[in-house]
Amino acid sequence: MKLPKPSRQTAGEFYALQRLMAAAVMRPLTRGDKMQVKWIDGSPTKVVVNQFIKPNDRLTSFERLEIYNRQYWLRIRQSFYEDYPGLCAILGDKKFERLAGAYLANYPSQSFTLRNLGSRLVKFIQEEPRWVSPHKQRALDLARLEWAHTEAFDNEARSPLKLDDLAGLDAAKIRLQLQPHLTLLKLDNEVDDFLIELKRKSGLRSEASNAMEQNRRHKKTRLAGRLKRKTNFLAVHRYQDLVYYKRLDPGQFRLLTALQNGATLEKACAELAGLKISGDLGATIQQWFTSWAALGWFCSLKQSK
């Protein structure tokens, strides 16, 4: 007897199965790090899972899927901790964990790479500051700096500008484009020094004992207590494959911000009017541009058009 061929799954059915599997794996865990027993529509999760996951001789369909659900969230959380050690230090582990859970529930990963996991964290803190209270401004500064660090680490580096290329050109027509890996920040706290010191003092091996881990938490607490409140301007950039934080004075920040916003070189320099700058203004600006060009902060004119 010839058995009928099983019906082939259509492309639409396959995509529907993919979406269902993704929804199940990416659903937030319960407080006990378990898979939720109720599905999105309120029906029992095990009933939904039984429709597309087979049990085996050791685990039920629910238990098999729960492994993937838990591992997904453990990896996501680990990545979040790795990207925001400074924010974790000022909030403390428990509060940071609650922030991470709330953020990831509101803004789940939508990218093929974990690199983009924190791309909306600053937006979330601004929307729901209760998760970082009473450290809202410190938290915002650190979230902005640590995201800028991520951007600096792997954003594109375009062909750099050579200052000789500007010779003979009209400053009223020149528009310089900053490198994609460069971020300009105005901060209310000296979080750059804090973050550098934190990373320097937290260089423990991953297999450190519980006692060593506890000691590291005490160090983080002490460091957070020394975080200074002071307005400062910062350029976060990559140079020779390393990320650097460079302090700027108000005039430098204002000029670079104007260029970043599309101003011509002439109009950007005009932004310095009224600022107290020691020495000859023209010579000072020339010195700034020489330094910035040496660091490769500007794209070549061909790429700036």
Q: Encode the chain (305 residues) as per-residue pLDDT tens digits.
A: 566 666 777 888 889 999 999 999 999 999 889 999 999 999 999 999 998 999 999 999 999 999 999 999 999 999 999 999 999 999 999 999 999 999 998 998 888 899 999 999 999 999 999 999 999 999 999 999 999 999 999 999 999 999 888 888 998 999 999 999 999 999 999 999 999 988 887 753 333 333 333 344 445 555 666 778 899 999 999 999 999 999 999 999 999 999 999 999 999 999 998 787 777 888 999 999 999 999 999 999 865 55
The DSSP-derived string for 71-130 is: HHHHHHHHHHHHH-HHHHHHH-HHHHHHHHHHHHHHS---SSSGGGTTTTHHHHHHH-GG
Q: Is 288 exposed, middle or buried (0-12, 13-18, 19+ CB in 10 A)?
A: middle
CB 160 within 8 A of CB 298: yes
Q: Is 261 exposed, middle or buried (0-12, 13-18, 19+ CB in 10 A)?
A: exposed
Could you give phi then psi for residue 149, rounded to 5 degrees?
A: -60, -45
Which string of b and e fits 94-104 if b means at least 16 CB within 10 Å?
Answer: ebbeebbbebb
Q: Global pTM?
A: 0.84
